[in-house]
Amino acid sequence: MNQDDLKRLVGEAALDFVRPDSVIGVGTGSTVNCFIEALIKSGMRIEAAVSSSEATTSLLQAGGIEVIDLNQTGGLDIYIDGADEFDAHRRLIKGGGAALTREKIVAAASRKFVCIADQSKQVGVLGAFPLPIEVIPLARSLVARKLVGLGGQPEWREGVVTDNGNWILDVHNMDLVDPVGMEKAINNLAGVVTCGLFALRPADLVLMSTESGVQQL
Ligand code: 5RP
């Protein structure tokens, strides 16, 4: 099986966690796209979805699924999203697709966060994947200098503008042995919208696809 097959497998497995006629939160990325495809194919009726990006909104709407604003609904039963990395405590790095801020908001509004990922995303310690950080454009250099002070090597993802009109810094070589502490420290920097660490609010369940099937972690 190649990585695309593993993404499809775990995208389909996530369907088992969706309650018919509920309002669900939907993340962003190629693994989530497999989930959306499986959801549409299944014909399961859901009341509506809260989306974490313009790209996901387009896909959902093209498949006939109503997308509503988070302000129109209360807490969500479930949020389904991918990750760039996850550890044994279900803490994540996200934001490879630049949708981290809306993803963090929808995750915070959800009672259960199911992360879907193939086995290549599993790590012992987070941080091999450069940590994405959404910044207010005016503060890019200021935040970059502060990140160097925290031990990282930030790189501007030039040309990328988030759905919120902001920019992304990808930080290499951050020491993330204390992901909760680092998430708080980075989120406290003036000019940071949010960082791609999901440690304060980790996933509740990781569905990991492997050659021999989908495991629940
Ligand atoms: C987008 C994300 C994605 O969940 C993450 O990048 C994984 O993407 P993919 O499923 O394409 O590997 O955080 O901001």
What residue spans define the domains of the chain?
Answer: 3-122+200-216, 131-196
Q: Indicate if ligand 1 lies below 6 Å from the C-beta of 162.
A: no
Q: Indicate if ligand 1 lies below 6 Å from the C-beta of 28.
A: yes
Question: Residue 111: enclosing H or E segment and its boundaries?
Answer: strand 110-118
Average pLDDT of the chain?
97
Evaluate the CA torsion angle 69, 71, 75, 81 in order and state its sign. positive
Tell me what pLDDT residue 74 has: 85
Residue 48: Cβ-neighbour burial (10 angstroms; 0-12, 13-18, 19+): middle
Cβ 208 vs Cβ 10: under 8 Å: yes
Active site residues: 103
Per-residue pLDDT of the chain (217 residues; tens, 9 = 90+): 899 999 999 999 999 999 999 999 999 999 999 999 999 999 999 999 999 999 999 999 999 999 999 999 988 999 999 999 999 999 999 999 999 999 999 999 999 999 999 999 999 999 999 999 999 999 999 999 999 999 999 999 999 999 999 999 999 999 999 999 999 999 999 999 999 999 999 999 999 999 999 999 9
Tell me what pLDDT residue 102 has: 98
Atom 6, ligand 1: which residue's CA is nearest? 96
**Which CATH architecture best describes the domain 131-196?**
2-Layer Sandwich (3.30)
Cα of 123 vs its chain's centroid, Å: 16
Atom of ligand 1 nearest to the CA of 99: 14
* pTM given for the model: 0.97
**Which CATH architecture best describes the domain 3-122+200-216?**
3-Layer(aba) Sandwich (3.40)
Atom 1, ligand 1: which residue's CA is nearest? 97
Q: Indicate if ligand 1 lies below 6 Å from the C-beta of 53.
A: no
Tell me what pLDDT residue 55 has: 98
Cβ 18 vs Cβ 44: under 8 Å: yes
Residue of 5, 9, 31 to mutate, ligand 1, most atoms within 8 A of C-beta: 31
Atom of ligand 1 nearest to the CA of 31: 10
**Contact partners, residue 214, CB within 8 Å, separation at least 6:** 9, 10, 13, 207, 208
